[in-house]
């Protein structure tokens, strides 16, 4: 199976089986927006729950918050997002594609390329040399490109019952203004009520640093974690759910003593790599890449990316940045509230006297939740060749999701819809429901088709109620990956599944 085939098959499976749908599909869809269907939402929640468990519930040194998506606009001034959170945008003069310069195909300046006029298939072929910027249009390979211009990625909206455009109209009515003056007046009017949808969850952890530290009496080193939606007006939206304008993140800010950031950076890189691998089939699909000096964000003294081998190649899944004390310092400067920490046990290194007040350094493991859904779907998708009961060749499609992540943990299947078998199956399902384990009663179609359906959606265990059940109170439990079946007692079905999930 080729790489592009894998994505095509995944997209089709996701739609057919209720994992992911195009947003507003009946209206032709909205570019780069997706809805998570009944199975997709379970998979996404399971990944989020595992992250929360390992980052917050199983640790003494990390607590969680759930902050509002809309924040005071000064947050984005202090963080630098208003001034610098932008992408270099370029227009292709040949095919009219708009793209990000930093993501365009690279060539050495002067390399000769050929592209079709107007970007049309079979159009007249034009030969040209790659310019000084060293890239071409990702759509048609043309070198006929506009200059780069910076485009801020934050979604701006306004708060309050006053429409800023009314003030704008009042101000300009009857005046003859140049384009530049009009733009300035418009910006001024909009700015008074402007707020932004957060482009990352991280800033709330900095802004609430003191509240959290004091209410929880947290001692450094400690972390604040959060999961939630973020929004970026991304230009290049491609590759299914890899990059979308609305997405979810799982981020944690770990506050440490100055001078210890290097060792904590290594610690978190290691922790996070192990976490991703723990739920995957192919551990080689993940790698840690240290940023070159030239790649580092202005606030970071080191950064690792955890990359995954997507069908199109290695690409980012999580960033682990050593953010120095940049954010707390910036928020201290703009708000006037001192975001610092006092350690009574330590001597101040500057004076040698007991008690040290410092601005903590920060290590930030920042992962994409919606991107994680894509990663685990790619990792899980497999096709196995076999033969059916009639000796015909067939392909078994299996989503080998870790049982902890699988949307449904067990399917309970009466062999036939009579002879008291549905009643037994329903009572087993009801035990699962009571235990809070997602199970499904399924009596539609032949047993073979039901197994195939549950293989395709990643259900790890199929419990079949047959005629023997009514005689000896046993059922079969079928393992999704090996297809092996064994008989267990009805009374133990729930415990067996629980134990296997716990050990997965
Ligand atoms: P990229 O280089 O892919 O644009 P980034 O370096 O800007 O990502 P961060 O700001 O470090 O990303 O965000 C942390 C994580 O959030 C990323 O590793 C990714 O998993 C996720 N993420 C960021 N932007 C998006 C997006 N537009 N759609 C989906 N996930 C995203």
Q: Could you give the count of Cα atoms lying within 13 Å of 97 in the half-sphere of its Cβ?
A: 21
Confirm or reject: Cβ of 87 under 6 Å from ligand 1.
no
Structure tokens at 494: 């729930």
Q: Return the closest-CA partner of residue 319 out of 362, 373, 281.
A: 362
Inter-residue contact 348 to 356 (CB < 8 Å): yes
Which residue, among 447, 369, 488, has the nearest Cα to 498 in the 3D structure?
Answer: 488
Residue 387, pLDDT above cutoff 90:
no
Inter-helix orientation angle 369-380/38-52, to 10°: 110
- Rounded to the nearest angstrom, the gap between the alpha carbon of residue 284 and the centroid of all alpha carbons in its chain is 20
Locate the domains of the chain by residue range: 37-68+200-377, 92-151, 408-503
Distance 317 CA to ligand 1 centre (A): 7
Q: Which atom of ligand 1 is nearest to the CA of 366?
A: 14
DSSP state of 445: S
> 0.85 cut: is pTM over it?
yes
Using CA atoms, how far apart are residues 44 and 14, in angstroms rounded to an integer?
13
For 93-146, the pLDDT digits (tens) are: 999 888 889 889 999 999 999 999 988 888 899 999 999 989 999 989 999 999
Length of the chain: 504
Q: Is the Cα dihedral 497, 499, 500, 504 positive or negative?
A: positive
**Angstrom distance (rounded) from CA 501 to CA 493:** 13
**Residue 7 pLDDT > 80:** yes
Ligand 1, atom 29: closest residue by C-alpha: 243
Dig out the tokens for 75 from the structure. 């947050």
Q: Which two tokens stand for residue 465?
A: 């109620």
Instruction: Give tens-digit pLDDT for 42-79.
Output: 999 999 999 999 999 999 999 999 999 999 999 999 99
What's the confidence (pLDDT) of residue 242?
95
Rounded Cα distance between 143 and 148, Å, is: 13
Q: Whose CA is nearest to atom 28 of ligand 1?
A: 243
Residue with CA nearest ligand 1 atom 24: 243
Q: Is the CB of 480 under 6 A from ligand 1?
A: no
Supply 331's token pair: 């928020």
* Token couple for 313: 């190649």
Beta bridge partners of 196: 156
Q: Closest Cα to atom 26, ligand 1: which residue?
A: 243
Residues forming beta bridges with residue 113, ordered by sequence position: 128
Q: In CATH, what is the architecture of 37-68+200-377?
A: 2-Layer Sandwich (3.30)
What tens digit of pLDDT does each residue of 154-194 get?
999 999 888 888 888 988 898 898 988 888 888 888 888 89
Contact criterion met (CB below 8 Å) for 256 and 362: yes
- In this prediction, residues 241-255 reach a mean pLDDT of 97
Closest atom, ligand 1, to C-alpha of 244: 28
- Cα distance between residue 201 and residue 443, in whole Å: 43
Q: How far apart are CA 504 and CA 486, in angstroms?
A: 18
Other CB atoms within 10 A of residue 400 CB: 20
Q: Does 85 have pLDDT greater than 90?
A: no
Report whether pLDDT(237) > 70.
no
Span from the CA of 250 to the centroid of ligand 1 (angstroms):
11
Q: What is the mean pLDDT of the chain?
A: 94
Whole-number Å distance, alpha carbon 374 to ligand 1 midpoint, is 13
CA angle 232, 237, 239 (to 5 degrees): 130
| Contact 400 CB / ligand 1 (< 6 Å) | no
126-140, 379-393, 402-416: lowest mean pLDDT where? 379-393
Inter-residue contact 281 to 299 (CB < 8 Å): no
Say if residues 420 and 439 touch (Cβ distance below 8 Å).
Answer: no
- The stretches of 192-281 forming alpha helices (DSSP H) are 202-207, 209-215, 261-278
Q: Is 268 a residue whose pLDDT tops 90? A: yes
Per-residue pLDDT, 236: 67
Helix ranges (H only) for 218-359 are 261-278, 326-335
* The pLDDT of residue 86 is above 90: no
**How far does the centroid of ligand 1 lie from the alpha carbon of residue 24, in Å?**
24
Q: Does domain 408-503 have CATH number 1.10.10.60?
A: no
User: Mean per-residue pLDDT for 229-234?
Assistant: 94
Quote the distance between the C-alpha of residue 448 and its chain's center. Answer: 35
CA distance 260 to 243: 34
> Residues 274-328: pLDDT tens digits?
999 999 999 999 999 999 998 998 899 999 999 999 999 999 999 999 999 999 9
Contact 40, 16 (CB under 8 A): no
Higher pLDDT, 210 or 87: 210
CB of 238 within 6 A of ligand 1: the answer is no
């Amino acid at each position: 199976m080729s790489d592009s085939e894998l994505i095509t098959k995944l997209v089709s499976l996701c739609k057919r089986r209720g994992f992911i749908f195009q947003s507003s599909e009946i209206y032709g869809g909205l570019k780069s927006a997706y809805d998570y269907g009944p199975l997709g939402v379970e998979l996404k929640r399971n990944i989020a729950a595992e992250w929360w468990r390992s980052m917050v519930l199983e640790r003494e040194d990390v607590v969680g918050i759930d902050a509002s998506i809309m924040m005071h606009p000064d947050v984005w001034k202090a963080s630098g997002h208003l001034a610098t959170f932008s992408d270099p945008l370029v227009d292709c003069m040949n095919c009219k594609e708009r793209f990000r310069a930093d993501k365009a195909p690279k060539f050495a300046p002067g390399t000769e390329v050929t592209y079709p006029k107007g970007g049309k298939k079979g159009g007249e072929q034009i030969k040209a040399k790659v310019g000084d910027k060293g890239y071409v249009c990702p759509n048609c390979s043309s070198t006929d490109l506009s200059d780069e211009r910076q485009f801020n990625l934050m979604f701006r909206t306004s708060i309050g019952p006053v429409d800023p455009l009314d003030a704008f109209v009042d101000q300009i009515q009857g005046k003859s203004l140049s384009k530049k003056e009009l733009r300035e007046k418009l910006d001024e009017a909009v700015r008074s009520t402007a707020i932004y949808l957060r482009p990352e969850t991280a800033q709330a952890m900095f802004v609430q640093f003191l509240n959290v530290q004091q209410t929880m009496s947290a001692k450094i080193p400690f972390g604040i974690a959060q999961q939630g939606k973020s929004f970026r007006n991304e230009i290049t939206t491609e590759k299914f759910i890899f990059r979308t304008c609305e997405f979810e993140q799982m981020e944690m800010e770990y506050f440490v003593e100055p001078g210890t950031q290097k060792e904590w950076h290594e610690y978190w890189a290691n922790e996070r790599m192990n976490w991703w691998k723990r739920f995957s089939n192919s551990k080689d699909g993940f790698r840690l890449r240290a940023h070159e000096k030239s790649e580092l964000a202005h606030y970071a003294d080191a950064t690792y990316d955890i990359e995954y081998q997507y069908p199109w190649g290695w690409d980012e899944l999580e960033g682990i940045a050593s953010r120095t004390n940049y954010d707390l310092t910036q928020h201290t400067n703009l708000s006037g509230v001192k975001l610092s920490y006092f350690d009574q046990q330590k001597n101040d290194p500057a004076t040698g006297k007991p008690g040290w007040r410092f601005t903590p350094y920060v290590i930030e493991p920042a992962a994409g939740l919606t991107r994680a859904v894509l990663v685990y779907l790619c990792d899980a998708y497999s096709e196995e060749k076999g033969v059916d009961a009639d000796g015909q060749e067939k392909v078994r499609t299996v989503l080998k999701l870790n049982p902890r992540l699988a949307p449904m943990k067990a399917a309970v299947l009466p062999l036939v819809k009579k002879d008291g078998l549905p009643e037994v199956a329903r009572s087993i399902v009801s035990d699962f429901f009571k235990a809070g384990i997602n199970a499904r009663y399924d009596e539609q179609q032949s047993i073979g088709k039901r197994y195939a359906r549950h293989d395709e959606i990643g259900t790890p265990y199929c419990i079949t109620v047959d005629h023997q059940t009514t005689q000896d109170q046993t059922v079969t439990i079928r393992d999704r990956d090996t297809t092996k079946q064994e008989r267990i007692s009805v009374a133990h079905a729930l415990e067996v599944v629980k134990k296997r999930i716990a050990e997965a």
